[in-house]
A and B are shown apart, each in its own frame.
Chain A
Amino acid sequence: MSGPHYNFAYLNEQTKRMIRRAILKAVAIPGYQVPFAAREMPMPLGWGTGGVQVTAACLTAEDTLKVIDQGADDTTNAVSIRKFFVKTANVATTEQTEEATIIQTRHRFPETPLKENQILVYQVPIPEPLRFLEPRETETRKMHALEEYGVMHVKLYEDISRFGEIATAYAYPALVNDRYMFDPSPIPKFDNPKLDQSPALQLFGAGREKRIYAIPPYTKVKSLDFEDYPFTLPTWEKPCAICGSKTSYLDEILTDDQGGRMFVCSDTDYCRKNQVAK
């Protein structure tokens, strides 16, 4: 089978309709996980098939697509997903955050602030924030129905009594629109504040777990915390070794086997722009 045999963006029309309906429901009930009959995509489940299906259902010929993994456009999985959409939808692509109309991401929210009419599509491995506290879907559904989130507060409190602070560094749970507890996907908690009141539409796709959820633009996203232990952000002792940014999320690079290390921006597009600006 070669290119021309594929439907636009791979999925057949009925599948797209089914996903589109799920997306509309997700937008209408922010943070609620809408079940959808996810299909097998030509990349492995667990490698972004949820995000890919959401992107495929949203994509038009007029879009400009950006795909990032770990904040970078050039990571192998980002390259692979971008190539897939170029091949099946012949869509324009970009590495520039502000040029993109749809951004598919794994594990990061871009450093460049997003705008209205941009869509950020997250790849989600485990959509259920309560899953590691309660493995059963039948139970966690009830907990969401009853807004019974005490078990998560207990878990965070246990962290504090054991470690002195909340020991969750990524996939940090938050409350959407004061109603549903949700998992922002494994982004570092550093990114959580960017989800709050973002002008962009945020869509979350979990293919293997067959769930879609959403945060509409300008929606309250409150990371869980306690009055005496407020939500805090991690900090680095040094700025980015390449662009000098003191505000961006930094990856640690080991430079030798003597303990030498440096810190550089995980968002490669942001880092490049910062270098040019200097």
Chain B
Amino acid sequence: MYVAVKGGEKAIDAAHQLLAEARRGDPSIPEISTNQIEEQLSLGVDRVMNEGSLYDRGFASLAIKQARGDMIEAIFLLRAARTTLTRFGYALPLDTAQMQIRRRISAAFKDLPGGQILGPTFDYTHRLLEEVLVPEPAKEAPQPILADVPKVLGLLGSEGLIELEFASDQPVGDITQDPPSFPMSRDQRLQSLARGDEGFLLSLAYSSQRGFGRTHPFAGEIRLGEVEVCFIPEELGFEIVIGEMTVTECEMINQFKGSGNTPPQFTRGYGLTFGHCERKAMSMALVDRALRAGELGEERSAPIHDEEFVISHADNVQATGFVEHLKLPHYVDFQSELLLLRQLRQDKDRAE
């Protein structure tokens, strides 16, 4: 007699065991430590913190190790850990003008106050595989770390050539506390983009450069460095510094807006990420600018202009969950489709 399939529990336990073995790999090779990941795979750690929406290098390194290097899985682990943490308040806005700068470039001006600092970048390396990756001893003093360097877009602003941005007295939106509803405000949009998938934002940004919603961008300024995080505890009532974090900021300069009343001005796109995530910050700035099309009175014709499309599909934890859920059993629904299909074919045969 047929016995219904049993043993889900056993199967899961066995799968966990196999996963643990696969994660460890060949036991004769030394086990990798989370410190090694944190120090030597640091850009991976940055990406996981960024899209995982949690600034914690230790947790992110552990997540990468536990996920066997699968970045989206690691991001997911960090997000789930985030759910257990209690929110105790909002930090004050970061002041990126006060950043301790390690890298700062502008593609808009050849030279400018504070200068161009290449910092740690792949940009001008030849992408040749090298077996030995030990740094050469420094031939000259390392580049200085700069603070209080004026913002490039601020320099343009003093001439009135770029739109000004004003601080709002509205409370900042928080998509983790209030479910997003459309249309979104720019702060909610930027928050969604900040945790959005790097690949998805990169492709969207690329599509706009190729003509699906052209935005005419210049990389006004990209800066990387450390900023202080400040907080006002309710019981103290004054501002204290609670830590420091590494961020990458990208401010794009885009083509004009103007009307009968106001002279033409450059417009802005903004990107900010935890850690060193330059590609993401740039993509974010392009997408941000494109999503402002409506506000700036431009035609919304390309996928990148469609806020609901872009924001609803940018989160890779959501995306991977739903795509991969197709692995779960669907035999009840499949059976109902089978019944229906057979019924429809019978009806047709009878009719003929």
Contact = CB atoms under 8 A, between A and B. Distances in A.
Contacts of B11: 76
Given A42-B80, A137-B182, A242 B2 contact: yes
Interface string A243-278: 000000111110100000010101010010000000
A241 interface: yes
Nearest to A253: B2
A107 to B, nearest CB: 5
- Residue from the set A44, A49, A163, A187 with the largest chain B CB neighbour count within 10 Å: A44
A220 interface: no
B329 A6 contact: no
Contacts of B338: 252
Does more than half of chain A's interface fall in helix, strand or loop, or is it mixed? loop
Contacts of B323: 46
Q: Which of A38, A78, A167, A169 has the most CB of B within 10 A?
A: A169
A38 B177 CA distance: 9
Given A137-B308, A208-B321, A40 B344 contact: no
Contacts of B318: 45-46, 208
Contacts of B344: 163-165, 167
B331 A12 contact: no
A208 B319 CA distance: 9
Nearest to A164: B347
B331 A70 contact: yes
Interface string A162-202: 01110101110000000000000011111000000000000
Contact of A167 (B6, B7, B83, B340): B340
A242 B338 CA distance: 21
The interface size bin for chain B is: 35 or more
Contacts of B9: 74, 79, 83
B301 interface: no
B318 to A, nearest CB: 5
Contacts of B336: 169-170, 188-190, 234
B182 A15 contact: no
B84 interface: yes
B335 A14 contact: no
Given A75-B8, A189-B336, A208-B321, A35 B179 contact: yes
Contact of A14 (B2, B87, B329): B87
Nearest to A187: B332
A38 B318 CA distance: 11
Given A75-B8, A77-B328, A169 B337 contact: yes
Given A79-B12, A188-B332, 19 more contacts: A6-B84, A10-B83, A37-B177, A39-B176, A40-B82, A44-B325, A46-B322, A70-B330, A74-B5, A74-B9, A75-B8, A106-B328, A165-B344, A165-B347, A170-B337, A187-B332, A210-B179, A241-B2, A266-B331
10 contacts: A14-B86, A36-B179, A44-B324, A74-B8, A76-B329, A107-B330, A136-B182, A138-B308, A164-B347, A167-B340
